[in-house]
Copies of this chain bind each other. A is one copy, B any other.
Amino acid sequence: MAVYTEVDDDDLGALLAHYDIGTAVACKGIAEGVENSNYLLSTTTGNFILTLYEKRVKVEDLPYFVGLMEHLAAKGVACPTPVKDRSGNVLHQVAGRPAAIVSFLQGVSPRRASAQHCAGVGGALAKLHVASADFPLWRENALSVAGWRPLFESCRARADEVKPGLAAELSRELDSLEASWPRLGESRSLPAGVIHADLFPDNVFFLDGRVSGIIDFYFACNDYFVYDLAIALNAWCFEADGAFNVTKARLLLQHYRAGRTVTESELFSLPLFARGAALRFLLTRLYDWLNQVPGALVKPKDPLEYLRKLKFHQQVLGPSAYGLEL
């Protein structure tokens, strides 16, 4: 839920003067993307999305994000396409923030992910991984294993406010994961490339039951593909009551494997990556929970949802628990 910076008609007029997309007829802040301010911009030629990049997004990362969307869109991945102004530029300043206009994607995010949605997401994620193979830029994943300890340390003292014993539990898990996590590039059988890194249901649109768009590339980075798959498993395959839905997982993984050849190492390492992904969202949610700004527009999400997911993955011994056949 976003919209932090307000945009008025003067800002819009000045911005659109650079483009050949008509004049503004409406501009509404939309509840999309947590990191940035997003507007549905209607012009005399159609609908667009205007994004203002807020402070949590580093300006030096913008060429990666914008370039990636251009690259993927050119390869036929359904994602927002940055719109170029008359001089070929994509980034502008609006109301004091860096900003870009991107294409408007049709579709609706599912409120409850169905098995059919999970199948679609698996296929779309594979397509994204394959299509980004020749994307030339590189961005480190700030929220992979190296980023977890500083995040944990900043929450450690107050973690037990959320649940007694949580600090000790997280400390043990972090020790295990640090000891077991493969260094990037170390293994040839764990392929890496561009990952979305935040493929939650709010970031995927469907139309007539099929994926019609993937949005919010502002966590995208270079990391193991299987880490992205593990994030998606966590985000899509648990029920509201906390139960893991193996049918959904099987469909997600089957459709992923139909689009990209997965190695046996990736399959066997899935429990490890699923634990890592659960810990990553547990830690960022815990941080946001403990650092709530009074009156903030963003409702923090329950960190303990990810503690329950973590506990599920801790008792998984092999890929068949995720519905996988080797």
Please report A residues at the B interface, Cβ cutoff 8 Å: 1, 3, 6-9, 11-12, 24-32, 40, 42, 47, 104-112, 205-207, 292, 294-297, 299-300
Contacts and interface: CB of A to CB of B under 8 A. Distances in A.
Given A28-B40, A29-B30, A30-B40, 6 more contacts: A8-B109, A8-B112, A29-B31, A40-B40, A42-B47, A42-B106
A39 to B, nearest CB: 9
A12 to B, nearest CB: 7
A108 B31 contact: no
Complex A-B, nearest 10 residue pairs according to Cβ-Cβ distance, in ascending order: A8-B111, A29-B31, A25-B106, A28-B30, A9-B108, A3-B31, A295-B299, A6-B111, A27-B108, A26-B106
Contacts of A32: 28-29
Contacts of A8: 108-112
A297 B299 contact: yes
Contacts of A207: 25
A106 B106 CA distance: 20
Contacts of A112: 8
A54 B55 CA distance: 32
A13 B83 CA distance: 31
Contacts of A3: 1, 31
